[in-house]
Amino acid sequence: MEFNEYGLRAAFQGKKIGCPLYFFDRAESTNSLIFGLAEEGAPEGTLVIADRQTNGRGRMKRSWHSPPGVNLYSSVILKPDIDPSAAPAIALMAGVAVAELLTVYCPSTVHLKWPNDVLVGGKKICGVLSEIKISGKKIMFVILGIGININMQSADFDPSLGDTATSLREEAKRMFSRVEVAVKLFDNISKYYDIFTSSGFAPIKEKWLCYSPMVGRDCEVLSGHDLLRGKVAGIDDGGALVMVDDDGRAQRILAGDASIVKG
Ligand code: BTN
C-alpha cells in the first residue's frame, strides 16, 4: 500500500486509532497540527501522519530531524479519563508498545531509556513527545507524537546526531513498508492503551522494566539545571524515575535526560 492519504486510510479502516486519519505531504509538526484539531473537538483516535516535518519537535525543546520519503512522523489524540498526575505514564506506555513492535524486527537489541527513548543497539531509533491540555483537574486531551526512523540510511542522518541515531533499515538490513509499520505501531498502542485505561500503568511498568537496562545501575539525570546522581531503583506507577542517592534517600524524578554512568 502506498504511503499516502488513500493507502493509509484504507490500511486503518475500522481501527480504533486512525479513524479519522489525516495525511500531509508536509507538516510543520504533526503534534502542533493535531493539537489544533483536538482544540476544535476532534475525537479520541484521530491520527495525523506526515511524510515530512519542517519543524519536527522533540523533548526539551529539541528538534526532530524529519526528512521526506523515509520515516514515520505521527500523532494521535487520546482522551483518557484519569487524574492528570497519571498522564506522564502514557509516554512510557508508548515506549513499551514501540519496543515490543521493534523487537519483532530486531530481536534482543531493543532497549528503553527513561523516560521514553527507544534504542536499538544502543542508538536512538524512536522518540515520543506527549503533550497535554488540562482544564481544572480534567484532562481535555493528550497528544501522543511518535517518530520512528524507518528507511533512513546512515548518510541521511543529521551530522549533529553523530553516531547516536539509527533506523530500522540500518539495523535489519532491509527496507520496510511505512504503512505496515504505522498500522502495527498503532495496533500495539491501542492494545496497551486499553490495558492502561482499564488497569493503570502497573502491568505495563513490568514490561517497561524488562526493556530497560537502567534498573540497579548508577545513573545521572539532568533535570532542569540540576544534575542528579544515584542508583536507579525503578519507576513508579506514574512513570517517574525512582533513584536512590548515596545516603539512601529515594527521589522521584518527573522529567529529565538520563544516562547510565559507565565504570
Ligand atoms: C524526542 O525524542 O525528543 C521526541 C521526538 C518526537 C518526534 C515526533 S515526530 C511526530 C511528532 N511530531 C513532532 O513534532 N514530534 C513528534
pLDDT tens column, 117-132: 999 999 999 999 999 9
Amino acid 160: pLDDT: 86
Please give the distance, rounded to the nearest whole angstrom, from the Cα atom of residue 147 to the centre of ligand 1: 5
Angle of the 202-211 helix axis to the 89-105 helix axis, nearest 10: 50
Please give the distance, rounded to the nearest whole angstrom, from the Cα atom of residue 148 to the centre of ligand 1: 9
Q: Which of 233, 189, 188 is nearest to 212 (CA)?
A: 233
Distances (CA, A) of 23 to 6, 19, 77: 9, 12, 15
Amino acid 263: pLDDT: 67
Amino acid 162: pLDDT: 80
Please give the distance, rounded to the nearest whole angstrom, from the Cα atom of residue 146 to the centre of ligand 1: 6
Residue in the structure block whose three cell numbers are 495525511: 23
The rounded distance, in Å, linking the Cα atoms of 100 and 80 is: 22
Q: What is the DSSP string of 31-44?
A: HHHHHHHHHTTPPT
Instruction: Find the DSSP H helices in the chain.
Output: 5-11, 30-39, 89-105, 168-172, 178-199, 202-211
Q: Whose CA is nearest to atom 7 of ligand 1?
A: 147
Q: Whose CA is nearest to atom 10 of ligand 1?
A: 73
Please give the distance, rounded to the nearest whole angstrom, from the Cα atom of residue 246 to the centre of ligand 1: 35
C-alpha grid cell for residue 12? Answer: 486503518
Checking phi first, is residue 237 left (phi over 0); if not, alpha (psi -120 to 50) or beta?
alpha
Q: Which residue ranges have their beta carbon within 6 Å of ligand 1?
A: 29-31, 53, 56-59, 62, 64, 73-75, 117, 127-129, 145-147
pTM for this predicted structure: 0.96
pLDDT in tens, 159-196: 888 889 999 999 999 999 999 999 999 999 999 999 99
From first to last of the 263 residues of the chain, give the pLDDT tens digit: 899 999 999 999 999 999 999 999 999 999 999 999 999 999 999 999 999 999 999 998 899 999 999 999 999 999 999 999 999 999 999 999 999 999 999 998 999 999 989 999 999 999 999 999 999 999 999 999 999 999 999 888 988 888 899 999 999 999 999 999 999 999 999 999 999 999 999 999 999 999 999 999 999 999 888 899 999 999 999 999 999 998 999 999 999 999 999 76
Amino acid 159: pLDDT: 86
Q: Whose CA is nearest to atom 9 of ligand 1?
A: 147
C-alpha grid cell for residue 175? Answer: 527496507
Please give the distance, rounded to the nearest whole angstrom, from the Cα atom of residue 54 to the centre of ligand 1: 12
Q: Whose CA is nearest to atom 16 of ligand 1?
A: 145
